[in-house]
Structure 1
Amino acid sequence: MAIEEHETDYLVVGAGAAGMAFTDALLTHSDATVTIVDRRHAPGGHWIDAYPYVRLHQPSAFYGVSSVPLGQDALDVAGTNGGYYELAGADEIRAYFAQVMHRRFLPSGRVHYFPGSDYLGENRFVSRLAQESWKVRVRRKVVDTTYLEGTIPATSAPPFKVADGVRCVPAGEIARITITERPERFVVIGAGKTALDTCVWLLEQAVPASSIRWIKPREAWWVNRRFQQPQALLPDSYRGMAIQLEAMAQATSIQDLFARLETEGFFLRIDPGLAPTMFRGAVISEAELELLRRIEDVVRLGHVRSIERGKIVLDEGSVSTSEGTVHVHCASRGLARPPLRPIFETGRVTVQPFLWGFVCYQFAMLGVIEAIVKSDEDKNHLCPPIAYWDANTDYLSAFLATLAHERARAAYPALANWAKETRLNPFSRLAHYRDAPNVMEARERIKRFGAAAVGNLAQLLKTSAAQAGGIRDAN
């Protein structure tokens, strides 16, 4: 196989949301050339493999790349998102990223795109289909957007054994069931976003709640979509910021903090009688919550170990199943959690979160910082990485990281101006509503409680770490 030579300023590995948002920022804020390599046949990352009924959990207005809007800024008038701004589905998002690539990136003359190609490391990649491979001379940096890449049910086997004759399918396959295959019952396995979407979709398709069993090893907190809205509903989002800071300033423990935020309606849980231990920041509406509460057959016996022809074996017991049941695999591990490393290094950018929430805003900001800030040391000072959130304490540490480095980022006028203007920033249009009474009231609460929230968050995390250490020592 012949090796071809290629030259570029930036070699971006991955054409998902992270790679696309980062590249878009480079094109806007520098004169750099970019080469994008991705194993999938089209841009869009995991959306290429997504289950057909998946939608964004946050409004389309905050997703994608900064320079190209997604959606029509329309309010949904029906369904579980009724009254809130639109949520793009998988088909729309795939079409959007294709448009960004073919109408924004490639016509610029500064982007080369190699789909269907595996990155081998050391600036080398190979085509999956053609007998071609490339060695790239990278003048500036390799941008690795795959460091935290996880797994999804559509492309990974279930993390449990499945006996012959048992019907077990990944989430997306239930949308393709024919009338001759129609099951008597559905067993949804998983506690995260995919499982939630699957349960909601089944109920929206008029599947009786009594025909659904939900197996979940953990209970989760969910963010109320009411506080994640743009445009005319932005004042409620800003009020959500005030609610969080006030609770953070006054909470006496992590449990007390979550209780305060639940009382305000900011956080939601499906079963009020159980204390959630999982927090991944997923967003739902109160209408979805009410649907999910219809499912009464909920199994909480840990993770599934195996599905046999007559029973499901879990960590802490077993439950019966039947031949007429379809078991829906929603149990992939999701995003990876490798050790944190500096985002900016000589010859390398490793994309990782550094703010709470709104991932595309973060990805795009990394591209802006790479383009306008000179030294890697200064870049890393602006955005030290944090782990993706999984447990309740992760919410506190992520929010604290957001607050702690906000002033440093504001010291760069070009970065601050971009943040005020980009559609990806949920508060970029707040100035349009600055005189609204609820915005003025929220602003005063933020001023009053902001500094105290930072101090108390640090103390709550310190106390939690000490308690966890004491438990480990006792064991």
Structure 2
Amino acid sequence: MSDETLEADYLVVGAGAAGMAFADALLTHSDATVIIVDRRHAPGGHWIDAYPYVRLHQPSAFYGVSSVPLGRDVVDTAGANAGYYELAGADEIRAYFAHVMHDHFLPGGRVRYFPCTEYLGDDRFVSRFAQGAWKVRVRRKVVDTTWLEGTVPATSPPPFEVADGVCCVPAGDIARIARRPERFVVIGAGKTALDTCVWLLDQNVSAASIRWIKPREAWWMNRRFQQPLAQLPGSYRGMAIQLEAMAQATSIDDLFARLEAEEVFLRVDCDVAPSMFRGAVISEGELERLREIQDVVRLGHVRRIERDEIVLDEGRIPTSEASVHIHCSARGLARRPLRPIFEAGRVTVQPFLWGFVCYQFALLGAIEALLPNDEDKNRLCPPISYWDENADYLSAFLATLAHERARMAWPALAGWAKDNRLNPFGGIGHYRDAPDVIDARERIKRSAATAVGNLAQLLKTNAHEAKN
């Protein structure tokens, strides 16, 4: 089977949120032609595999691609998110990315899309189902969005052994179970586990019927400080609170304590010190629901589930064949070695600042289109690892502060970021005269420089203590 030869300026590997946001900005700010390949049957990345009750943990207004709004910009009036801007669910997000691809990308004639294909490297990809094989003559760059691709419970086996006869299902499958179990055993400490617990409670499952196995306790960000539009001044105040705490903190633990006292950070169990921080966002309503669950197991990771007991790192607990065990544990986002984002013939999509992922991936597309050379691009966007532990919050935030001024010194980028719908603070200029915004702006000015220096010192101290 010989390769069919194609030609394009860019070959984008992955049609998930990162690839779509990057391609959208690139198409908006250049005359580039783009080929997008993806192993899944439709655009949307991990959302194609997501459990049915998943929702964004950030407002819809901050998600997707720059040029196409997601949602209706309305405030929820019921449920755990009441009072805050809407959160799109899996069906809405999948429909949104299909709409972007088929109604915005493809009609212009500059994009070709190949679903159900596997990228092989060396500018080649093949069909997963048919005999098709293609070689692309890439005039500019291959854009790899898979370098840090993570795993989700829906598409990865549980990271523990399961004996025959044990009912163990991924999070999505509990919406389809045929019989009511005696007990639900939720395994995992991240957002999937949180969503699963909240969903079960919303289905009127008694909290006493839920056992939650948590290898680690997590910090969560308060959605109150992650709001767009009319509630943006409150989010801006949250930024001022964070910078003041960063300027004043005497240790990493002290920083988190200050932010918890201001309710910027939340934890489910106030008696357990969190060691995990992945930047996920919850509401105070969700927090109160989660605190209803009292049967919480903290014996490390699950190693094996037998018919009558669960074996963990630090002990064993009983279970039964009448229980359904819900696998909410997966590796999550990858933490591979970092490499320059912009190289000759290649863009390796990686995070480079703290915050909303779609904004920064769209920003990478704008930078690729608007800046003249890779040296300048990399100077503005040195990559960072995805956050997982408490100290990662400091290093990610420090990277944001250290390079934001340099990025905004480029007029084209500053103009792009201003009022960009994905930029969490892009529209703050509309509220410049609001008293809360004036106060927050002054607090930020007083604290920002000191925060940069103190964050660097706290990280240095933490690294020294870890070595010893």
Structure-1-length-normalised TM-score: 0.98
Q: CA shift at 1:150, angstroms?
A: 1.1
Number of residues of Structure 1 aligned to a counterpart in Structure 2: 468
Q: After superposition, what is the alpha-carbon deviation per residue over 1:421-454, rounded to whole angstroms, capped at 9, x for unaligned?
A: 2100011111111111111111110011111000
Q: What is the 5 A alignment of 1:322-337? A: 322-337=320-335
CA distance, structure 2, for counterparts of residue 231 and residue 254 of structure 1: 32
Partner of 1:187: 185
CA distance, structure 2, for counterparts of residue 35 and residue 125 of structure 1: 11
Q: After superposition, what is the alpha-carbon deviation per residue over 1:128-184, rounded to whole angstroms, capped at 9, x for unaligned?
A: 111110011100000000000111111111000000000000000001122xx2111
Q: After superposition, what is the alpha-carbon deviation per residue over 1:220-252, rounded to whole angstroms, capped at 9, x for unaligned?
A: 000000000001110110000000000000000
Partner SS for 2:418: helix
Partner of 1:456: 454
CA distance, structure 2, for counterparts of residue 2 and residue 196 of structure 1: 49
CA distance, structure 2, for counterparts of residue 431 and residue 145 of structure 1: 32
CA distance, structure 1, for counterparts of residue 108 and residue 362 of structure 2: 18
CA distance, structure 1, for counterparts of residue 408 and residue 83 of structure 2: 34
Work out whether 1:208 is the aligned partner of 2:206.
yes
Which amino acid in the other structure matches residue 436 of structure 1?
A: A
Q: What is the 5 A alignment of 1:417-428? A: 417-428=415-426
Q: CA shift at 1:267, angstroms?
A: 0.2
Partner SS for 1:257: helix
Partner SS for 2:142: strand
Which amino acid in the other structure matches residue 324 of structure 2?
A: V
Partner of 1:98: 98
Q: CA shift at 1:295, angstroms?
A: 0.5
Which amino acid in the other structure matches residue 132 of structure 1?
A: G
Overall identity of the aligned pairs, in %: 79
CA distance, structure 2, for counterparts of residue 396 and residue 207 of structure 1: 38
Work out whether 1:295 is the aligned partner of 2:293.
yes
Q: CA shift at 1:3, angstroms?
A: 1.4
Partner SS for 1:41: coil
Q: Identify the match of residue 217 of structure 2 among 211, 216, 219.
A: 219
Partner of 1:116: 116
Which amino acid in the other structure matches residue 194 of structure 1?
A: T
CA distance, structure 2, for counterparts of residue 8 and residue 318 of structure 1: 57
CA distance, structure 2, for counterparts of residue 135 and residue 196 of structure 1: 43
Partner of 2:34: 34
Partner of 2:128: 128
Q: Identify the match of residue 410 of structure 1 among 408, 428, 437.
A: 408
Q: CA shift at 1:2, angstroms?
A: 3.0
Partner SS for 2:104: helix
CA distance, structure 1, for counterparts of residue 109 and residue 387 of structure 2: 38
Which amino acid in the other structure matches residue 47 of structure 2?
A: W
CA distance, structure 2, for counterparts of residue 291 and residue 324 of structure 1: 25
Partner of 2:139: 139
Which amino acid in the other structure matches residue 142 of structure 1?
A: V
CA distance, structure 2, for counterparts of residue 258 and residue 421 of structure 1: 31
Which amino acid in the other structure matches residue 130 of structure 1?
A: A
CA distance, structure 2, for counterparts of residue 357 and residue 176 of structure 1: 34
Which sections of structure 1, spanning at least 5 residues, go unmatched? 471-475
Which amino acid in the other structure matches residue 366 of structure 1?
A: L
Partner of 2:428: 430
Partner SS for 1:399: helix
Which amino acid in the other structure matches residue 251 of structure 2?
A: S
Partner of 2:439: 441
Q: After superposition, what is the alpha-carbon deviation per residue over 1:67-97, rounded to whole angstroms, capped at 9, x for unaligned?
A: 0000000000000000000000000000000
Partner SS for 1:88: coil
Partner SS for 1:405: helix
Runs of 4+ in 1 over 3 A off after TM superposition: none
Give the stretch that moved more between structures: 413-422 or 38-47: 413-422
Partner of 2:83: 83
Which sections of structure 2, spanning at least 5 residues, go unmatched? none
Q: CA shift at 1:315, angstroms?
A: 0.4
Structure-2-length-normalised TM-score: 1.00
Q: Identify the match of residue 318 of structure 1 among 307, 316, 319.
A: 316
Partner of 2:150: 150
Partner SS for 1:125: strand
CA distance, structure 2, for counterparts of residue 322 and residue 358 of structure 1: 41
CA distance, structure 1, for counterparts of residue 143 and residue 167 of structure 2: 41
Work out whether 1:244 is the aligned partner of 2:256.
no
CA distance, structure 2, for counterparts of residue 426 and residue 50 of structure 1: 25
Q: Identify the match of residue 384 of structure 1 among 363, 369, 382.
A: 382
